Amino acid sequence: MLEIKNLHARIAEDGTEIIRGLNLTVKAGEVAAIMGPNGSGKSTLSYILSGREDYEVTEGEILYNGENILELEASERAAKGIFLAFQYPVEIPGVATMQFLKVAMNEQRKYRGEDELTTPEFMRRVKEAAAELKIAPEMLRRPLNVGFSGGEKKRAEILQMALLEPKLCVLDETDSGLDIDALKIVADGVNALRSPDRAVIVITHYQRLLDYIVPDTVHVLYKGQVIKSGDKTLAHELEANGYADIIEAAA
Amino acid sequence: MNMQQAIKMTAAETALVDAYTAQIGDLPGDGSVLSVRDTLVHELKTAGLPTRRVESWHYTDLRTLLRAVPTADPTAFADRVEALVAGATVLSVRNGHADLKGNAPEGVTIRSYTDSLLDGSAAAGLAVLGTDDAIGRINGGLVRGGLELVIADGTELEDPLEIQLVQSLGQAHTRFPVSFGANTKATVIERHLSTNAAESLISSVSDITVGEGAEITWIVLQQQGAADTHLGQIRFDLAKDAKLHLFLINAGGKLVRQEIHGKTSGEGADFKLRGINLLGGESHTDVTFTLGHNVPHTTSTEIIRNVVFDRAKGVFQGKILVAKDAQKTDAKMACNTLLLSDDADLSAKPELEIFADDVQCGHGATVADIDHTQLFYLMARGIPENKARAMLVNAFVAEIVEELDDEPLVEALESVISAWLEKHA
Ligand SMILES: Nc1ncnc2c1ncn2[C@@H]1O[C@H](COP(=O)(O)OP(=O)(O)OP(=O)(O)O)[C@@H](O)[C@H]1O
Ligand SMILES: [Mg+2]
């Protein structure tokens, strides 16, 4: 589903290279975990995947279902099924959450040539998904992410994911800021989306989330490269020993 | 003086003076009114229109910007339009002529301002606010009509009053002295519209007094045509514990100067100004505001949001004066701008002049582009760039509209804003 080949990317503004020859393949139906020390480029990779323009790809390619997506706008990638749950969801005062959800869902449908949702159908879907994630209706009446607690923001990201039904889900530290119950709820939400035609990339620092969302593969990102890949036992290894050994072995 | 007299009058100055001369004998007014008019037009003739050398007109050189003045056409026809919100009482003023047909809501007395000119009771109110009050001068010289409203003590109006000014072409000069009695509650919409693309020039002065304990919302919605000149002035005076929420939306016009001059005269008075300026094309829009906190314990907040596209130019001048005795004044003024093109421009000049020592006053001005992180967030959810930008611009001003806390009104204003943005963004 996703093939990243020898990707090099830099910050457009000052030219600093962050991603330095990264290779990664994720198959449909797979859950891949990406781990790695702070500043290794995990969030940057997720931004580049979803089309943030602050970064410039200088080499390599990203194939999504065989299509090179580097020329596509962020909105087009989203409509084609790429979803990023942000490490830091963005507050947008003045944009009502419900209005945002409706516009996002319908714009994606329009792009794909599908009919727009009727208001009752939209309401029904939101109500149902919000209930699953234990999101209070009052929260949805507020402006987008404004005044949401850290955990509420993460839950709202998963709500968006559930409603948009993406094919490739990238979760950037969705576990951070969640209490134990919320972690379970969010993990259940992600697991509910697992399907043979969907892939999930989980970026995390902790094994805890991976106890709930059990990955098929684990990749260690360091200085803009995947320096080691393995199965779920690799995450346990990291939890026990940290990154030092792996970094050393790769050097 | 002599120097100035020697300067050749501009086409616009000549046209304004000629408009007056042509109407002598026809302009309504008793002896006292006519003599005030004479003085004002004489001042206009000798001083000319203000230039950038006049401090309060520094960013709006009216003498240069006002190239021509369309001639008044007394036969021009304009139709009334649907009220902004359902249920509003519409007071129709078309091409400067007030229509007194229809019923006034209980507690509201409506009189033709023309009658007040004719019997001379309007004379005192025609005085200008100062030597640089060009709007007061033009309006006072040429005003023909308008409405005088008196809202009796204790009246609470459920539905808004809409003063609907529709202009088709030519000139119109109107006045609206409005007096809200003690403990009244009301929403007034002063709505300026044009029905076509023909050029027009209007001047309009609203003179608002808010009685003790009254709570008034006054909305100025300016939606004139892309060729129009709009010279507006709001004057207000707040009694003890009076609250005035003045809400200004500029969404039209080519050359716009909207002045707001007010004062607090009773303790506990509270003033709120919220302004949205939607600027596009080659337009020039100036909002100039002065507020005198004249007595102790009065409060005010002012928030202006400007959205500037294309080659448009915006100006906000805000001056808060706190008198020596006005201790415990609390005043906060903010002017925030989204500049959406390289050629767009905004000049902000917020000022505080404080003569009391125990006050809380502050002001700030920001200018920014669309927030890139917010834009990316929306796009990452599948919203195309154009639409995402429009949502963010809308959000920037929507926050202010929502403060109105009156659902039909909020909805109506939001649709005015989104219609404007759809056309210009
Ligand atoms: N727009 C930017 N401007 C400046 N520096 C940036 C920018 N984006 C990323 N960086 C830098 O690139 C490096 C990688 O950042 P990134 O956020 O991708 O790390 P990360 O692996 O997600 O870290 P963490 O685990 O702390 O979330 C960091 O050193 C970061 O400071
Ligand atoms: Mg990160």
**Residue B385 in contact with partner chain A when CB distance is under 8 A:** yes
Could you tell me the distance, in angstroms and rounded to a whole number, from the CA of residue A40 to the centre of ligand 2? 8
**Residue B399 in contact with partner chain A when CB distance is under 8 A:** yes
Q: How far is residue B137's CA from residue B39's CA, in Å, rounded to a whole number? A: 9
Q: How many residues does chain B have?
A: 425
For the four alpha carbons of A7, A13, A15 and A18, in that order, the dihedral sign comes to negative
Q: How far is residue A140's CA from residue A123's CA, in Å, rounded to a whole number? A: 11
pLDDT surpasses 80 at B388? yes
Closest protein CA for atom 16 of ligand 1 = A41
Mean pLDDT, chain A, whole residue set = 93
pLDDT surpasses 60 at B5? no
What is the mean predicted confidence (pLDDT) over B290-311?
A: 97
**Structure tokens given for B367:** 């200018």
What's the CATH number of domain A2-250, 3.30.2310.20, 3.40.50.2300, 3.40.50.300, 3.40.50.620? 3.40.50.300
Could you tell me the distance, in angstroms and rounded to a whole number, from the CA of residue B144 to the centre of ligand 1? 67
Per-residue pLDDT reduced to its tens digit, B412-422: 999 999 999 88
What is the mean predicted confidence (pLDDT) over B76-102?
A: 91
**Structure tokens given for B244:** 């005035």
Chain B interface, best mutation among A82, A86, A95, by max B CB count within 10 A: A95
Q: How many residues does chain A have?
A: 251
What is the mean predicted confidence (pLDDT) over A212-228?
A: 94
Q: How far is residue A204's CA from residue A183's CA, in Å, rounded to a whole number? A: 13
Point out the residue among A52, A83, A100 whose CB comes nearest to the CB of B376.
Answer: A52
Nearest to A104 by CA among A126, A135, A134, A128: A126
Nearest to A21 by CA among A71, A61, A48, A70: A61
What is the mean predicted confidence (pLDDT) over B115-144?
A: 96
The C-alpha of B391 sits at a distance from chain A's nearest C-alpha, in angstroms, of 7
Closest protein CA for atom 26 of ligand 1 = A38
Confidence grade of residue B2 (pLDDT, cut at 50, 70, 90) = very low
Q: CA-CA distances (angstroms) from residue B338 to A191, B54, B60? A: 42, 28, 20
pLDDT surpasses 80 at B1? no
Per-residue pLDDT reduced to its tens digit, A11-43: 999 999 999 999 999 999 999 999 999 999 999
What is the mean predicted confidence (pLDDT) over A127-154?
A: 91
Could you tell me the distance, in angstroms and rounded to a whole number, from the CA of residue A48 to the centre of ligand 2? 13
Neighbours of B288 (CB within 10 A): 21
**Residue B421 in contact with partner chain A when CB distance is under 8 A:** no
- For residues B74 and B172, is the Cβ–Cβ distance under 8 A? no
- Interface touch A103/B394, C-beta < 8 Å: no
- For residues A23 and A206, is the Cβ–Cβ distance under 8 A? no
pLDDT score of B352? 95
- Interface touch B383/A51, C-beta < 8 Å: no
Contacts of A49 in chain B (CB under 8 A): none
For the four alpha carbons of A76, A79, A84 and A86, in that order, the dihedral sign comes to positive
Neighbours of A185 (CB within 10 A): 19
For residue B199, give the amino acid letter. E
Angle (CA) B406-B152-B156 rounded to 5° is 25
Per-residue pLDDT reduced to its tens digit, B212-250: 999 999 999 999 999 999 999 999 999 999 999 999 999
Confidence grade of residue B263 (pLDDT, cut at 50, 70, 90) = very high
Q: Count A/B contacts: CB-CB distance under 8 Å.
A: 81
- Interface touch B387/A74, C-beta < 8 Å: no
Nearest to B187 by CA among B244, B272, B113, B263: B244
Contacts of B287 (CB under 8 A, 6+ apart): B248, B250, B258, B259, B260, B275, B277, B304, B314, B315, B316, B317
Q: How far is residue A7's CA from residue A19's CA, in Å, rounded to a whole number? A: 7
Q: How far is residue B299's CA from residue B140's CA, in Å, rounded to a whole number? A: 31
Contacts of B421 (CB under 8 A, 6+ apart): B278, B307, B390, B393, B394
**Ligand with an atom nearest the CA of residue A35:** 1
The C-alpha of A153 sits at a distance from chain B's nearest C-alpha, in angstroms, of 13
